[in-house]
Protein backbone atom coordinates (compact mmCIF):
# COMPACT_ATOMS: atom_id res chain seq x y z
CA UNK A 1 0.00 0.00 0.00
CA UNK A 2 1.42 3.39 -1.00
CA UNK A 3 1.14 6.83 0.57
CA UNK A 4 -2.23 8.50 1.15
CA UNK A 5 -2.44 11.30 -1.38
CA UNK A 6 -5.09 13.99 -1.41
CA UNK A 7 -5.93 15.05 -4.99
CA UNK A 8 -8.14 17.81 -6.38
CA UNK A 9 -11.21 15.96 -7.57
CA UNK A 10 -11.40 17.73 -10.93
CA UNK A 11 -8.06 16.14 -11.91
CA UNK A 12 -9.62 13.04 -13.39
CA UNK A 13 -12.19 12.05 -10.76
CA UNK A 14 -15.32 14.20 -11.30
CA UNK A 15 -16.53 17.03 -13.59
CA UNK A 16 -16.66 19.49 -10.68
CA UNK A 17 -14.88 22.52 -12.14
CA UNK A 18 -16.73 25.84 -12.21
CA UNK A 19 -17.39 25.26 -15.94
CA UNK A 20 -18.59 21.67 -15.42
CA UNK A 21 -15.45 20.12 -16.86
CA UNK A 22 -13.07 17.46 -15.58
CA UNK A 23 -9.37 17.55 -16.46
CA UNK A 24 -6.78 14.91 -17.09
CA UNK A 25 -3.38 15.01 -15.42
CA UNK A 26 -0.59 12.64 -16.47
CA UNK A 27 1.12 12.71 -13.09
CA UNK A 28 -2.10 11.87 -11.22
CA UNK A 29 -2.75 9.03 -13.66
CA UNK A 30 0.80 7.77 -13.12
CA UNK A 31 0.46 7.93 -9.33
CA UNK A 32 -2.91 6.21 -9.11
CA UNK A 33 -1.58 2.64 -8.99
CA UNK A 34 1.09 3.61 -6.42
CA UNK A 35 -0.97 5.64 -3.95
CA UNK A 36 -4.12 5.46 -1.89
CA UNK A 37 -5.97 8.42 -3.41
CA UNK A 38 -8.45 10.58 -1.51
CA UNK A 39 -10.16 13.33 -3.47
CA UNK A 40 -11.52 16.68 -2.43
CA UNK A 41 -13.27 19.56 -4.17
CA UNK A 42 -13.21 22.37 -1.61
CA UNK A 43 -15.82 24.35 -3.55
CA UNK A 44 -18.39 21.61 -4.19
CA UNK A 45 -17.79 20.04 -0.77
CA UNK A 46 -18.45 23.46 0.76
CA UNK A 47 -21.87 23.48 -0.90
CA UNK A 48 -21.38 25.29 -4.22
CA UNK A 49 -23.11 24.08 -7.38
CA UNK A 50 -21.51 22.91 -10.64
CA UNK A 51 -21.40 24.74 -12.98
CA UNK A 52 -20.91 27.98 -11.02
CA UNK A 53 -19.60 31.46 -11.77
CA UNK A 54 -15.78 31.71 -11.70
CA UNK A 55 -14.16 33.24 -8.61
CA UNK A 56 -11.17 35.48 -8.06
CA UNK A 57 -9.02 36.12 -5.02
CA UNK A 58 -8.77 39.75 -3.99
CA UNK A 59 -6.12 40.78 -1.49
CA UNK A 60 -6.68 43.97 0.41
CA UNK A 61 -3.98 46.43 1.47
CA UNK A 62 -3.42 44.77 4.89
CA UNK A 63 -3.08 41.30 3.34
CA UNK A 64 -6.48 39.68 4.06
CA UNK A 65 -7.99 37.77 1.13
CA UNK A 66 -11.53 37.50 -0.18
CA UNK A 67 -12.97 35.01 -2.68
CA UNK A 68 -15.37 36.92 -4.89
CA UNK A 69 -17.57 35.54 -7.67
CA UNK A 70 -16.76 37.43 -10.85
CA UNK A 71 -20.32 37.76 -12.18
CA UNK A 72 -22.28 39.02 -9.16
CA UNK A 73 -19.50 40.00 -6.69
CA UNK A 74 -20.84 37.47 -4.17
CA UNK A 75 -18.34 37.04 -1.33
CA UNK A 76 -17.75 33.32 -0.65
CA UNK A 77 -14.81 33.77 1.73
CA UNK A 78 -16.64 32.77 4.92
CA UNK A 79 -18.27 29.68 3.40
CA UNK A 80 -15.05 28.37 1.88
CA UNK A 81 -12.93 29.25 4.94
CA UNK A 82 -15.32 27.38 7.19
CA UNK A 83 -15.10 24.29 5.01
CA UNK A 84 -11.30 24.45 5.04
CA UNK A 85 -10.96 24.92 8.79
CA UNK A 86 -13.45 22.18 9.64
CA UNK A 87 -12.36 19.58 7.07
CA UNK A 88 -8.55 19.85 7.17
CA UNK A 89 -7.97 18.71 10.79
CA UNK A 90 -9.66 15.38 9.97
CA UNK A 91 -7.42 14.61 6.99
CA UNK A 92 -5.03 11.70 7.50
CA UNK A 93 -2.73 12.08 4.50
CA UNK A 94 0.93 11.92 3.46
CA UNK A 95 0.79 14.56 0.72
CA UNK A 96 -1.49 16.64 -1.50
CA UNK A 97 -1.50 17.18 -5.24
CA UNK A 98 -3.84 19.99 -6.21
CA UNK A 99 -5.12 21.85 -9.27
CA UNK A 100 -2.93 24.79 -10.23
CA UNK A 101 -4.14 28.39 -10.48
CA UNK A 102 -7.45 27.68 -8.76
CA UNK A 103 -8.66 30.21 -6.14
CA UNK A 104 -9.17 27.22 -3.82
CA UNK A 105 -6.53 24.64 -4.80
CA UNK A 106 -3.59 26.45 -6.46
CA UNK A 107 -0.22 26.09 -4.70
CA UNK A 108 1.79 29.29 -5.21
CA UNK A 109 0.25 29.57 -8.69
CA UNK A 110 -3.05 31.40 -8.12
CA UNK A 111 -3.39 35.05 -9.12
CA UNK A 112 -4.19 37.33 -6.19
CA UNK A 113 -5.64 40.64 -7.33
CA UNK A 114 -4.19 43.60 -5.47
CA UNK A 115 -5.91 46.95 -4.80
CA UNK A 116 -3.65 48.66 -7.37
CA UNK A 117 -5.07 46.25 -10.05
CA UNK A 118 -1.81 44.27 -10.37
CA UNK A 119 -1.66 40.56 -9.49
CA UNK A 120 0.80 38.36 -7.61
CA UNK A 121 0.99 34.56 -7.56
CA UNK A 122 0.18 32.88 -4.28
CA UNK A 123 -1.88 29.92 -3.06
CA UNK A 124 -5.61 29.32 -3.16
CA UNK A 125 -7.60 29.51 0.05
CA UNK A 126 -7.85 25.76 0.72
CA UNK A 127 -4.19 25.15 -0.17
CA UNK A 128 -3.11 27.97 2.17
CA UNK A 129 -5.08 26.47 5.05
CA UNK A 130 -3.64 23.04 4.30
CA UNK A 131 -0.08 24.39 4.38
CA UNK A 132 -0.75 26.28 7.59
CA UNK A 133 -2.25 23.27 9.37
CA UNK A 134 0.27 20.68 8.06
CA UNK A 135 3.49 22.64 7.41
CA UNK A 136 5.42 19.39 6.92
CA UNK A 137 3.08 18.03 4.22
CA UNK A 138 4.46 17.50 0.69
CA UNK A 139 2.17 19.86 -1.22
CA UNK A 140 2.22 20.71 -4.92
CA UNK A 141 0.14 21.45 -7.96
CA UNK A 142 0.49 20.50 -11.62
CA UNK A 143 2.34 23.70 -12.51
CA UNK A 144 4.88 23.51 -9.66
CA UNK A 145 5.48 19.81 -10.21
CA UNK A 146 6.21 20.18 -13.92
CA UNK A 147 9.77 20.94 -12.86
CA UNK A 148 11.55 17.54 -12.68
CA UNK A 149 13.65 18.52 -9.64
CA UNK A 150 10.67 19.78 -7.66
CA UNK A 151 8.70 16.70 -8.67
CA UNK A 152 11.53 14.37 -7.61
CA UNK A 153 11.69 15.81 -4.10
CA UNK A 154 7.90 15.99 -3.75
CA UNK A 155 7.64 12.30 -4.62
CA UNK A 156 10.63 11.30 -2.49
CA UNK A 157 9.02 12.95 0.54
CA UNK A 158 5.53 11.67 -0.21
CA UNK A 159 6.72 8.06 -0.53
CA UNK A 160 8.93 8.36 2.54
CA UNK A 161 5.94 9.46 4.65
CA UNK A 162 3.89 6.64 3.11
CA UNK A 163 6.54 4.10 4.14
CA UNK A 164 6.61 5.64 7.61
CA UNK A 165 2.84 5.18 7.93
CA UNK A 166 3.04 1.51 6.99
CA UNK A 167 6.23 0.60 8.94
CA UNK A 168 4.78 2.33 11.93
CA UNK A 169 1.50 0.43 11.67
CA UNK A 170 3.15 -2.98 11.26
CA UNK A 171 5.40 -2.50 14.33
CA UNK A 172 7.52 -5.65 13.83
CA UNK A 173 10.48 -5.91 16.30
CA UNK A 174 13.28 -3.63 15.10
CA UNK A 175 11.02 -1.80 12.64
CA UNK A 176 12.27 1.65 13.64
CA UNK A 177 15.96 0.71 13.20
CA UNK A 178 15.08 -0.83 9.86
CA UNK A 179 13.20 2.27 8.72
CA UNK A 180 15.98 4.61 9.81
CA UNK A 181 18.74 2.51 8.21
CA UNK A 182 17.02 2.47 4.84
CA UNK A 183 16.42 6.24 4.91
CA UNK A 184 19.86 7.27 6.12
CA UNK A 185 20.96 8.98 2.90
CA UNK A 186 17.56 10.38 2.08
CA UNK A 187 17.50 12.11 5.47
CA UNK A 188 21.12 13.18 5.07
CA UNK A 189 20.21 14.77 1.73
CA UNK A 190 17.44 16.87 3.32
CA UNK A 191 18.61 17.61 6.85
CA UNK A 192 21.87 16.02 8.06
CA UNK A 193 21.53 17.48 11.57
CA UNK A 194 18.10 15.93 12.04
CA UNK A 195 19.31 12.66 10.49
CA UNK A 196 21.81 12.39 13.37
CA UNK A 197 19.21 13.38 15.97
CA UNK A 198 16.87 10.72 14.62
CA UNK A 199 19.71 8.20 14.88
CA UNK A 200 19.93 9.02 18.59
CA UNK A 201 16.16 8.43 18.98
CA UNK A 202 16.54 5.04 17.30
CA UNK A 203 19.50 4.11 19.51
CA UNK A 204 17.51 4.99 22.64
CA UNK A 205 14.44 3.10 21.40
CA UNK A 206 16.14 -0.23 20.67
CA UNK A 207 14.05 -2.96 19.06
CA UNK A 208 10.82 -2.11 20.85
CA UNK A 209 10.18 1.64 20.60
CA UNK A 210 7.46 3.04 22.83
CA UNK A 211 5.03 5.86 22.01
CA UNK A 212 7.46 8.57 23.12
CA UNK A 213 10.17 7.29 20.74
CA UNK A 214 7.69 6.97 17.90
CA UNK A 215 6.34 10.48 18.44
CA UNK A 216 9.85 11.94 18.67
CA UNK A 217 10.88 10.15 15.49
CA UNK A 218 7.77 11.21 13.59
CA UNK A 219 8.23 14.82 14.63
CA UNK A 220 11.88 14.78 13.56
CA UNK A 221 11.13 12.95 10.32
CA UNK A 222 8.50 15.48 9.30
CA UNK A 223 10.87 18.30 10.20
CA UNK A 224 13.69 16.78 8.14
CA UNK A 225 11.47 16.33 5.11
CA UNK A 226 10.25 19.91 5.43
CA UNK A 227 13.78 21.34 5.17
CA UNK A 228 14.45 23.24 1.95
CA UNK A 229 16.36 21.23 -0.64
CA UNK A 230 19.92 22.46 -1.15
CA UNK A 231 22.15 21.04 -3.85
CA UNK A 232 25.10 21.00 -1.43
CA UNK A 233 23.30 18.63 0.97
CA UNK A 234 22.08 16.39 -1.83
CA UNK A 235 25.62 16.17 -3.23
CA UNK A 236 26.99 15.38 0.22
CA UNK A 237 24.59 12.42 0.55
CA UNK A 238 25.35 11.21 -2.97
CA UNK A 239 29.11 11.39 -2.32
CA UNK A 240 28.71 9.39 0.89
CA UNK A 241 26.94 6.66 -1.08
CA UNK A 242 29.56 6.80 -3.83
CA UNK A 243 32.20 5.93 -1.22
CA UNK A 244 30.85 2.36 -1.15
CA UNK A 245 31.97 1.67 -4.73
CA UNK A 246 35.29 1.40 -6.54
CA UNK A 247 34.62 2.91 -9.94
CA UNK A 248 37.19 3.07 -12.72
CA UNK A 249 39.02 6.34 -13.41
CA UNK A 250 36.74 6.98 -16.37
CA UNK A 251 33.60 6.31 -14.32
CA UNK A 252 34.87 8.60 -11.57
CA UNK A 253 35.37 11.41 -14.07
CA UNK A 254 31.93 10.95 -15.58
CA UNK A 255 30.42 10.97 -12.08
CA UNK A 256 32.32 14.15 -11.14
CA UNK A 257 31.03 15.80 -14.33
CA UNK A 258 27.46 14.81 -13.42
CA UNK A 259 27.88 16.24 -9.91
CA UNK A 260 29.24 19.51 -11.29
CA UNK A 261 26.31 19.72 -13.71
CA UNK A 262 23.92 19.05 -10.82
CA UNK A 263 25.65 21.66 -8.67
CA UNK A 264 25.30 24.24 -11.44
CA UNK A 265 21.61 23.40 -11.90
CA UNK A 266 21.81 22.12 -15.47
CA UNK A 267 20.69 18.57 -14.57
CA UNK A 268 18.55 17.26 -11.73
CA UNK A 269 19.15 14.82 -8.88
CA UNK A 270 18.41 11.73 -10.93
CA UNK A 271 21.45 12.25 -13.18
CA UNK A 272 24.23 11.66 -10.59
CA UNK A 273 22.05 9.01 -8.89
CA UNK A 274 21.91 7.08 -12.16
CA UNK A 275 25.72 6.68 -12.03
CA UNK A 276 25.45 5.04 -8.61
CA UNK A 277 22.67 2.75 -9.77
CA UNK A 278 24.81 1.75 -12.70
CA UNK A 279 27.80 1.03 -10.45
CA UNK A 280 25.57 -0.95 -8.12
CA UNK A 281 24.42 -3.26 -10.91
CA UNK A 282 28.07 -4.22 -11.48
CA UNK A 283 29.28 -4.12 -7.86
CA UNK A 284 26.10 -4.82 -5.84
CA UNK A 285 26.24 -3.43 -2.32
CA UNK A 286 23.49 -4.70 -0.02
CA UNK A 287 23.55 -1.65 2.27
CA UNK A 288 23.40 0.89 -0.55
CA UNK A 289 20.87 -1.19 -2.43
CA UNK A 290 18.36 -0.82 0.40
CA UNK A 291 18.73 2.98 0.53
CA UNK A 292 15.46 4.57 -0.55
CA UNK A 293 17.27 7.68 -1.69
CA UNK A 294 18.94 5.60 -4.37
CA UNK A 295 16.81 2.58 -5.08
CA UNK A 296 13.58 2.89 -3.21
CA UNK A 297 11.51 5.23 -5.33
CA UNK A 298 9.05 3.39 -7.50
CA UNK A 299 9.43 3.55 -11.27
CA UNK A 300 7.01 6.43 -11.38
CA UNK A 301 9.36 8.56 -9.30
CA UNK A 302 12.49 7.73 -11.17
CA UNK A 303 11.38 8.64 -14.63
CA UNK A 304 12.16 12.00 -16.10
CA UNK A 305 9.50 14.06 -17.75
CA UNK A 306 7.17 12.97 -19.24
CA UNK A 307 6.10 10.49 -16.62
CA UNK A 308 4.53 7.24 -17.87
S1 LIG B 1 -9.69 23.25 -8.58
FE2 LIG B 1 -10.26 22.50 -6.58
S3 LIG B 1 -12.12 23.64 -6.06
FE4 LIG B 1 -11.79 23.88 -8.26
S5 LIG B 1 -12.99 22.25 -9.17
FE6 LIG B 1 -10.93 21.46 -8.89
S7 LIG B 1 -11.03 20.43 -6.92
FE8 LIG B 1 -12.79 21.75 -7.02
pLDDT in tens, 69-94: 999 999 999 999 999 999 999 999 99
Q: Which of 127-131, 146-150, 163-167, 225-229 has the highest mean pLDDT?
A: 127-131
Q: What is the pLDDT of residues 36-54, one digit of tens each?
A: 999 999 999 999 999 999 9
Give yes or no for residue 110 CB within 6 A of ligand 1. Answer: no
Q: Tell me which residue has its CA closest to atom 4 in ligand 1.
A: 17
pLDDT at 161: 95
**Bond from prior residue into 51 cis (ω within 30 degrees of 0):** yes
pLDDT at 173: 86
Residue 228 Cα to ligand 1 midpoint, Å, equals 28
Task: Say if residues 65 and 108 touch (Cβ distance below 8 Å).
Answer: no
**Bond from prior residue into 306 cis (ω within 30 degrees of 0):** yes
Q: What is the pLDDT of residues 209-241, one digit of tens each?
A: 999 999 999 999 999 999 988 999 999 999 999
pLDDT at 63: 87
Give yes or no for residue 42 CB within 6 A of ligand 1. Answer: yes
Strand 55-59, strand 65-69: pairing: antiparallel
> What's the gap between Cα 85 and its chain centre?
22
pLDDT at 225: 95
Residue 113 Cα to ligand 1 midpoint, Å, equals 19
Evaluate if pTM is beyond 0.85. Answer: yes
Domain residue limits, the chain: 4-146, 147-308
Q: Where are the alpha helices (DSSP H) in the chain?
A: 26-31, 77-87, 125-133, 148-170, 175-182, 184-190, 192-205, 211-226, 231-242, 249-264, 270-282, 286-289, 299-302
Say whether pLDDT at 303 is over 50: no
Give yes or no for residue 294 CB within 6 A of ligand 1. Answer: no
Q: Tell me which residue has its CA closest to atom 5 in ligand 1.
A: 17
Task: Say if residues 280 and 245 touch (Cβ distance below 8 Å).
Answer: yes
Point out the ligand 1 atom lying closest to the alpha carbon of residue 11: 6
**Least confident residue range of 115-129, 163-177, 253-267:** 163-177
Task: Say if residues 268 and 152 touch (Cβ distance below 8 Å).
Answer: yes
Q: Which of 17, 48, 109 to mutate to test the pocket of ligand 1 (most atoms within 8 A of CB)?
A: 17
Give yes or no for residue 109 CB within 6 A of ligand 1. Answer: no
Point out the ligand 1 atom lying closest to the alpha carbon of residue 17: 5
Say whether pLDDT at 1 is over 80: no
Give yes or no for residue 105 CB within 6 A of ligand 1. Answer: yes
pLDDT at 296: 52
pLDDT at 152: 86
pLDDT (average), residues 154-173: 88
Q: What is the pLDDT of residues 106-129, one digit of tens each?
A: 999 999 999 999 999 999 999 999
Task: Say if residues 58 and 65 touch (Cβ distance below 8 Å).
Answer: yes
Give yes or no for residue 16 CB within 6 A of ligand 1. Answer: yes
Percent of the chain at pLDDT above 90? 82
Percent of the chain at pLDDT above 70? 95
Residue 183: C-alpha distances to residues 186, 230, 255, 278 (Å): 5, 18, 23, 20
Residue 105 Cα to ligand 1 midpoint, Å, equals 6
Give yes or no for residue 104 CB within 6 A of ligand 1. Answer: yes
Amino acid sequence: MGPRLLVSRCLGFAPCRYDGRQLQCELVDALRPHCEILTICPEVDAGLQTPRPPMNIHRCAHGAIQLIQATDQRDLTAQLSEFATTSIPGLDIDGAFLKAKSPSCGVDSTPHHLPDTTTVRDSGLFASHLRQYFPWLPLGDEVGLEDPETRHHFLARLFCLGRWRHSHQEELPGWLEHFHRRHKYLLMAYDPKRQKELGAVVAAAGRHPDASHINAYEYGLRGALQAPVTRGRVINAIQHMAGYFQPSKQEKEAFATALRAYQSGTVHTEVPLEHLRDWNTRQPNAYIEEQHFLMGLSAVCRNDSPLP
